[in-house]
Structure 1
């Protein structure tokens, strides 16, 4: 297929709680850009319900790999399956989109990157908050040097998940398939934004606990002190035990200005010599995710529009749509997706370092 002009044909692998957001985001794109035709899940009940909801054909994973009409597989499977499945798809000549996190360890990310480079296909990791207007505005200010030299970064994810959430799937809360708890599963988006906006982390010192949930192997509260390669220091906190759940927060403070993103909104942008921008504190969907998870935000979401709203009111799924659009541009122009495999691995590597520090009580130095 000539992907430079024809629509890319997508199939979704894994029909769990995040898959409807992928489906709605793809269907919101112009038909000339994307077609969603198939789904796949080892749970036939889930696959049948999902296929009925979105008028899709059901196929096995092997059938998807062998079908020359399918250009892209987007993976919504448990995290610990991403490398094995994604690498097979890349080797079969498919472009691949993977829901966060990329994998459960940085080492497990390597086969995906190697397979992508060998195949010459495109690989993207869902980290949709890079596409939020607030994130784009802050990144622009940083690129223009308007915050001066960064001195402090603060990242907080004070969310809540019920015991029922962890009990809803036997893979949840396991090291083998979830890869971690509140930081790997819930906090990875904020970790990615932190790295994208503040730059690489040099050292980590962390502590973690399983404080408020039963029948899970992983942490539900973690805190870390960070030093960045640019000389800044920072802190990172995540939990799923902060009832009733509060919006994620990212604060960046420099010698010439500060920026605060809270609940996906630009809460504050203060630059020396200019009027301070005061914005909202959180989107409705950010509050829903903080208190009830993706399922809550998806259940309360309306149809995703084809373009960003003129009034700037960002809704659940808009950022996913923009990330898929970025991925399609990369395929058509032979470019690099904004969140490629290298970026996806960086977020996982920082989280792995947090876990290693918490387990050993040592300061961990990250590789360059």
Structure 2
């Protein structure tokens, strides 16, 4: 298949490397508002360079468009590509608001093209093993779950890309930009979210950014055995990027994920540690994870075989809606159904 990438920042390199590592796929173009960045990518990976998405779409024939731009451009660019009959693979978030998200879903349904959201950590071996233990019944019924993200984002992170600090352009901060991946994994393991109460704060960059640096949520999930609670905490006001912790307490075992390690804690207190080191090295920053290649490969295979895949828009719906519900709950101070 023929692919193109719009937005030639840091994450675009991960997409380009992932595509280049797959057999039978070609990158035909790169587009960026700073055309020199697109030119650098084209020199390294092949294809042509453009200063706008529209010019690239007019001049290149492609099967898949990868969207690696700032958040506020995701839906407008996805809609343009879908209308032209092009499949879309985009970075998170799916959209900036629930209303915009509905527009995106309608565009996908109308076009009948594939649209994937880059929840690449779903492909991490430790996550897939934990999910297998839960779905097989070996872990027993789910009793509850929790997740923690404590990362560091200082003022220079926002000043080097000012859209990140702008609420209208970013849609939010800690949750939509960083911790949404961990929220997605908690939801993958726990089940369907029913409702949520939440609070958000900006602790360490008051007056510098418009977006939150800390979020706390109490989530109700519907499991096979009934409703169970999930506790979620994330902050970017920590002193370093520590490994996120995801834990699901079940009847026969507690599953604790600290990628690439899965620890199984049995009721008698004994622990079994399973470390998965057989995935490819991450192309980009360590905290981005190393599941991008697997995610992109499965997305392309789904297109070719006309089958579903786990990061297709419809299969990420629960996590996307839960994220919007957390923002609404924090604004209103009320319990919000998902």
1:352 to 324, 334, 337: 324
Higher relative contact order (CA 8 A, sep 6+): 1
Q: Report the equivalent of 1:28.
A: 21
1:244 to 232, 240, 260: 240
The SS at the match of 1:62 is helix
* Contact 1:160 1:241 (C-alpha < 8 Å) held by counterparts: yes
Shift of 1:151: 1.1
2:307 to 332, 335, 352: 335
Q: Is the deviation greater in 40-49 or in 171-180?
A: 40-49
Cα distance in 2, alignment partners of residues 132 and 168 from structure 1:
30
Shift of 1:71: 0.6
Cα distance in 2, alignment partners of residues 254 and 297 from structure 1:
30
Does 1:365 find its partner at 2:334? no
Q: Report the equivalent of 2:251.
A: 255
Cα distance in 2, alignment partners of residues 193 and 296 from structure 1:
19
Q: Report the equivalent of 1:38.
A: 29
Q: Report the equivalent of 1:111.
A: 103
Structure 1 residues 116 and 356, CA gap change in structure 2 (3 angstroms): closer
For 1:177-188, list aligned pairs within 5 A.
Answer: 177-188=169-180
Q: Report the equivalent of 1:196.
A: 188
The SS at the match of 2:170 is coil
For 1:54-203, list aligned pairs within 5 A.
Answer: 54-59=45-50, 60-67=52-59, 69-203=61-195
Structure 1 residues 344 and 104, CA gap change in structure 2 (3 angstroms): farther
Uncovered stretches (5+) of structure 2, i.e. residues with no partner? none
Q: Is the deviation greater in 205-214 or in 49-58?
A: 49-58
Shift of 1:75: 0.3
* Contact 1:106 1:345 (C-alpha < 8 Å) held by counterparts: no
* Contact 1:122 1:336 (C-alpha < 8 Å) held by counterparts: no
Cα distance in 1, alignment partners of residues 248 and 176 from structure 2:
22
* Contact 1:11 1:70 (C-alpha < 8 Å) held by counterparts: yes
Q: Can you list the C-alpha shifts for 1:144-189, whole angstroms capped at 9, x where unaligned?
A: 0122111111111111112100111121122212111111100111
Alignment TM-score, normalising by the size of structure 2? 0.90
Cα distance in 1, alignment partners of residues 141 and 11 from structure 2:
38
Q: Report the equivalent of 1:305.
A: none
Shift of 1:348: 2.8
Q: Is the deviation greater in 189-198 or in 347-356?
A: 347-356
Cα distance in 1, alignment partners of residues 139 and 166 from structure 2:
40
Cα distance in 1, alignment partners of residues 187 and 315 from structure 2:
9
Cα distance in 1, alignment partners of residues 212 and 312 from structure 2:
27
Cα distance in 1, alignment partners of residues 101 and 155 from structure 2:
30
Alignment TM-score, normalising by the size of structure 1? 0.83
Q: Can you list the C-alpha shifts for 1:171-224, whole angstroms capped at 9, x where unaligned?
A: 112221211111110011111111111112112111111111242111001111
Cα distance in 1, alignment partners of residues 214 and 12 from structure 2:
27
Shift of 1:296: 4.3
For 1:4-15, list aligned pairs within 5 A.
Answer: 8-15=1-8
Uncovered stretches (5+) of structure 1, i.e. residues with no partner? 1-7, 289-293, 299-315
Shift of 1:335: 0.9
The SS at the match of 1:350 is helix
The SS at the match of 1:226 is strand
Shift of 1:125: 0.5
Q: Report the equivalent of 2:264.
A: 269
Shift of 1:278: 0.8
Shift of 1:44: 1.8
Q: Report the equivalent of 1:50.
A: 41
Cα distance in 1, alignment partners of residues 285 and 337 from structure 2:
38
